[in-house]
Structure 1
Amino acid sequence: MKKILMALAGAAMCLSAAFSEELTLMIYAQPQEKAILDKVIARFEQTHKGTKVKFISSTQNEYGAKIQAQLAANNLPDVFYLGPGEVRQYVDNRKVLDLSPYVKSVSGVNFADLYESAVDTYRYDGKELGKGEAIWALPKDFGPFALAYNKTLFEKYKVPLPSKDTPYTWQEFIDVCEKLTRDNNGDGQNDVFGTGLNIHWAFIQFVWGNGADFLDSTHTKVTVSDPKFVEALQYWANMTLGNSQYPVAGLSKFRPVTPTATQAQSLDTYQRWIKGELAFFPAGPWDLAKFNDPEVIKFEYDLIPWPVHTSANQTATYRGGVGYAVAATSKNPQLAAELALYLSADEEANKMYSDMDLQIPNLKSLASRYTSKPGKPANRQEYINIISKTGRSWPSDYTYNSVWYDKFYMGIQRVLDGKLSAKDYCTKIQPQMQRELDKALQRARQSAARNKK
């Protein structure tokens, strides 16, 4: 018995020596993603002898509460997800590690192959997001939001297909939407629509497409009362109301091109798109796996740029995702930083993500492989264009919190219902948003001051 116990003790010591370093990775992942990550982790452990990665995966809904609990206990995992909008708080409170000294020369992965715009999303110089040399996370993904159109509807009603390169103007977009908004069964209610867009996810593209924004260039002043912003909001509302009660100057009179509020309650716009009842709908790379299932979508579709007010304006949409951050308390920062880079830039993993339509590959060298994939959508290049040229960050990413931004949407339904003009609403809500932004700016200053001590 004594010999057996000694042998077991020796084996335990050998095992402990074999795994002299343990890293904890805590993220959320779909089953397909987790299967890929397991392979990446196995490669990392193989190339980093003596290292064991403890992989803790949760659902996306559970992740926020779990990571906040770890944060409160000052027990963050070595590597975890950090969104761009969280960078300032985590950095100012010294919770994450600057990865720039660690990741630029790691064997087996190529930091330089990551999209610069994706890496820049996680730069922060203590004053402004996107600035400075310090890198506080590495992209897990970088998801652009393009505008999809139902090609089958266009062909059915003999409407010319849109350009894959030149965006519609607002007038052109409405003209096409009117042609594709139809009452096919003659019951007096439209059952096919030009579009149906969620204001939280697809309004800002029209603001940017009119040369306006929620904030000024210093990210300290709320600019929703800017006439160009007001114009974009009224145009948005008029897609449901029609351009008569509160007409947008310079545009012809047009009828509603979206489902009514009652119709939207009975069937949301996502389901209408799936059923083939919408001509236009936003599509992220994360949607493609489902959209390309022939049992889900039975029509042809493709991607185009977002509309602009006039041809002189620039199309834009948001791009974002989450990144792999390393806790400042990690006992082995070099090893943890290398794991973050492996998870972000491992070539085989990026190929698998792309092949399964889970995300666009993070690596520039795989762009042509992604855009040349057979099947729908044919114009995958639009996603690459957004990543490299026309994508922007959410306005709230530049501020300490999103309370001021969320304030805008709290009373927006009155505008969408035609009970209040966009001008009156924006004039009223601007000072309220500014007060919340001022509070956030003050908190940011206090946090930055603590960080300097």
Structure 2
Amino acid sequence: MTTKTLRATALALAGALALTACGTGGGGDDSSGGGDALTFMFRGGPDEKAAYQAAIDKFTEDTGVEVRMTVTDADQYATKLQAAVSGNKVPDVFYIEQANLQSYVGSGVLLDITDQVEEAGVDLDDLWEYGVDSYRFDGTLQGTPEGRLYGLPKDVGPFAFGYNKTMLEAAGIPLPDPDVPLTFDEFRDIAKQLTVDTDGDGALDQWGTGLNVQWNLQSMVWSNGGDWTNEDRTEVTVDTPEFAEALQYFADLTNVDGVTPSASEAATLDTYQRWMAGEIGFFPVGPWDVSVYNDLDFEYDLIPWPAGSTGESATWIGSLGIGVSATSADPDAAVQLATYLSADPDAQQTLVDANIQIPNLIDVAQEWASAPDAQPANRQEFLDIVQDYGRAMPASFTYGAEWYDELWVNIQPVLDGKQTAADYLAEAQPKMQALLDESNANAEMAGGA
């Protein structure tokens, strides 16, 4: 589900939550638990479910607190959470997205856990600053160190750049420097060398890259000196030469340079599947991919993202948070569970061993990155993104994402080479600005409620 859907859900259920405040959160039926057990709702696949089960079994052993888990896949999570809230059965502890924090705070879903976390002695300095601050809100701005804490990071998700090491070696291409980013021109040149007909049948079956505009344009724009908004998130700034140059470069990789699968080729087998099959040279890698990518039939590794005019790499960092219901019947135990899952060394080790995230704890992460058997070998790139050059997605800290989503609505003609990036951005900016203004007005109203 989209962040837009989740935001709408939180706002629509504000009235129901007012009633919930008189009830008991977290208890009531088979799906969300009952009796004295805490309820924990999250999303993930089999690997994540197994890892959390192991961590929670240890939590129960140490504390005597029973925990009932509800796990869904990513697409069902928002619907399941909405049903729980509507039915006055808000889970005691549950995943929250950065983009929903403000609406959840405004509508009374989330408990302010600042004091409890401090009293528990959690060393927030040993957690990634970006992860902790993502769930802070001062009533006006989210993501600032001064804000109150309405959740803890489940994880931080640095969106790294990977390459098929086996493919480059077979082509006789020198491997990229793990510390110095390729320029846009260098990246395009290597991608051209990798785009070939390997079996001589007259059709391409190997490509340099295959990027998705909604997840990969950010890196190109930021490294080229552009951005989506000004610093205080009040003005949209996409109609600039820097932004247009980056978007045009992205489109030209397909329409001019031909280094990505065509629309028809991607329809037959999407670029993710082609990367998995060893047909793509460069592709993004998130920590959530590692457990699968480590079993591929080729060797891969991580490098800095290609850099535009600034000469510096840029990319985004995702994050999920763990929040506590403001209506939990046992808020102290719920906060204890949230802090355990986010910051306990044993729990973190269980999750990291499952290859589903990088460690939340900085000292553990540094040991993890430097392990002699690290796979991929350059795990340090994940940490470099979190520490140095990663940023929040443009709509992560705004009140809703409609303004941001508007950029993608009519972008296809640019990607097809039928409209210039500059012309499109001039059309899109005023539409995006109107929606951002509305978003900020809604945030003010919610803050005053």
TM-score, normalised by the number of residues in structure 2: 0.88
Give the one of 253, 258, 272 matched to 2:260: 258
Question: In the alignment, is the contact (CA less than 8 A) between 2:55 and 2:350 conserved in 1?
Answer: no
C-alpha change, 1:397 and 1:375, in structure 2 (3 Å) is closer
- Are residues 1:414 and 2:413 paired? yes
Q: Give the match for residue 213 of structure 1.
A: 227
> 1:74 offset after TM fit, Å?
4.4
- Are residues 1:189 and 2:203 paired? yes
Q: Give the match for residue 283 of structure 1.
A: 285
Q: Deviations over 1:192-241 (max 9, x none)?
A: 21111011111111011111111111111111101100111000000001
> 1:111 offset after TM fit, Å?
4.4
Instruction: Return the alpha-carbon distance in structure 1 between the equivalents of residues 234 and 216 of structure 2.
Output: 23
Q: Aligned ranges for residues 175-186 of structure 1 at < 5 Å?
A: 175-186=189-200
Question: In the alignment, is the contact (CA less than 8 A) between 2:340 and 2:347 conserved in 1?
Answer: no
Give the one of 305, 315, 322 matched to 1:324: 322
SS across alignment from 1:98: coil
Q: Give the match for residue 391 of structure 2.
A: 392
> 1:390 offset after TM fit, Å?
1.3
C-alpha change, 1:150 and 1:407, in structure 2 (3 Å) is same
SS across alignment from 2:396: helix
Give the gaps of 5 or more residues in structure 2: 1-33
Instruction: Return the alpha-carbon distance in structure 2 between the equivalents of residues 274 and 191 of structure 1.
Output: 13
Of residues 208-217 and 39-48 in structure 1, the stretch that sits farther from structure 2 once superposed is 39-48
- Are residues 1:78 and 2:76 paired? no
Question: In the alignment, is the contact (CA less than 8 A) between 2:40 and 2:93 conserved in 1?
Answer: yes
Q: Aligned ranges for residues 8-407 of structure 1 at < 5 Å?
A: 21-49=36-64, 51-106=65-120, 110-131=123-144, 132-242=146-256, 255-293=257-295, 297-310=296-309, 312-373=310-371, 374=373, 376-407=375-406
Question: In the alignment, is the contact (CA less than 8 A) between 1:211 and 1:314 conserved in 2?
Answer: no
- Match of 2:60, as an amino acid? E
Instruction: Return the alpha-carbon distance in structure 2 between the equivalents of residues 113 and 376 of structure 1.
Output: 24
Instruction: Return the alpha-carbon distance in structure 2 between the equivalents of residues 66 and 264 of structure 1.
Output: 32
Q: Deviations over 1:103-154 (max 9, x none)?
A: 13537x7544321221111111111111124111111121111110111111
Question: In the alignment, is the contact (CA less than 8 A) between 1:177 and 1:193 conserved in 2?
Answer: yes
Q: Give the match for residue 248 of structure 1.
A: none
Question: In the alignment, is the contact (CA less than 8 A) between 1:181 and 1:194 conserved in 2?
Answer: yes
- Match of 2:127, as an amino acid? L
Instruction: Return the alpha-carbon distance in structure 1 between the equivalents of residues 125 and 79 of structure 2.
Output: 34
Q: Aligned residues, how many?
A: 414
SS across alignment from 2:360: coil
CA RMSD of aligned residues (A): 1.9
Instruction: Return the alpha-carbon distance in structure 2 between the equivalents of residues 37 and 186 of structure 1.
Output: 48
Percent of aligned pairs sharing the same letter: 43
Q: Give the match for residue 433 of structure 1.
A: 432
Instruction: Return the alpha-carbon distance in structure 1 between the equivalents of residues 60 and 202 of structure 2.
Output: 64
C-alpha change, 1:314 and 1:76, in structure 2 (3 Å) is same
Instruction: Return the alpha-carbon distance in structure 1 between the equivalents of residues 35 and 424 of structure 2.
Output: 61
Instruction: Return the alpha-carbon distance in structure 2 between the equivalents of residues 111 and 383 of structure 1.
Output: 20
> 1:402 offset after TM fit, Å?
0.9
> 1:41 offset after TM fit, Å?
2.4
Q: Give the match for residue 13 of structure 1.
A: none
C-alpha change, 1:188 and 1:92, in structure 2 (3 Å) is same
Q: Deviations over 1:265-293 (max 9, x none)?
A: 11111111112111100011111111111
Question: In the alignment, is the contact (CA less than 8 A) between 2:42 and 2:72 conserved in 1?
Answer: yes
SS across alignment from 1:104: helix
C-alpha change, 1:47 and 1:428, in structure 2 (3 Å) is same
Instruction: Return the alpha-carbon distance in structure 1 between the equivalents of residues 125 and 88 of structure 2.
Output: 32
Instruction: Return the alpha-carbon distance in structure 2 between the equivalents of residues 159 and 31 of structure 1.
Output: 38
SS across alignment from 1:322: strand
SS across alignment from 1:323: strand
Question: In the alignment, is the contact (CA less than 8 A) between 1:207 and 1:233 conserved in 2?
Answer: yes
- Match of 1:378, as an amino acid? A
Instruction: Return the alpha-carbon distance in structure 2 between the equivalents of residues 406 and 20 of structure 1.
Output: 42
Question: In the alignment, is the contact (CA less than 8 A) between 1:230 and 1:426 conserved in 2?
Answer: yes
- Match of 2:266, as an amino acid? A
Instruction: Return the alpha-carbon distance in structure 1 between the equivalents of residues 354 and 38 of structure 2.
Output: 28
SS across alignment from 1:287: helix
Instruction: Return the alpha-carbon distance in structure 2 between the equivalents of residues 237 and 425 of structure 1.
Output: 12
Instruction: Return the alpha-carbon distance in structure 1 between the equivalents of residues 280 and 58 of structure 2.
Output: 45
> 1:441 offset after TM fit, Å?
1.4
C-alpha change, 1:155 and 1:79, in structure 2 (3 Å) is same
Q: Deviations over 1:326-377 (max 9, x none)?
A: 1111233222111100111222222222222111111112123321341531
C-alpha change, 1:40 and 1:289, in structure 2 (3 Å) is closer
> 1:421 offset after TM fit, Å?
0.5
Instruction: Return the alpha-carbon distance in structure 1 between the equivalents of residues 89 and 97 of structure 2.
Output: 19
Question: In the alignment, is the contact (CA less than 8 A) between 1:27 and 1:57 conserved in 2?
Answer: yes
- Match of 1:142, as an amino acid? V
Question: In the alignment, is the contact (CA less than 8 A) between 2:304 and 2:313 conserved in 1?
Answer: yes
Instruction: Return the alpha-carbon distance in structure 1 between the equivalents of residues 72 and 266 of structure 2.
Output: 32
SS across alignment from 1:164: coil
Question: In the alignment, is the contact (CA less than 8 A) between 2:341 and 2:348 conserved in 1?
Answer: no
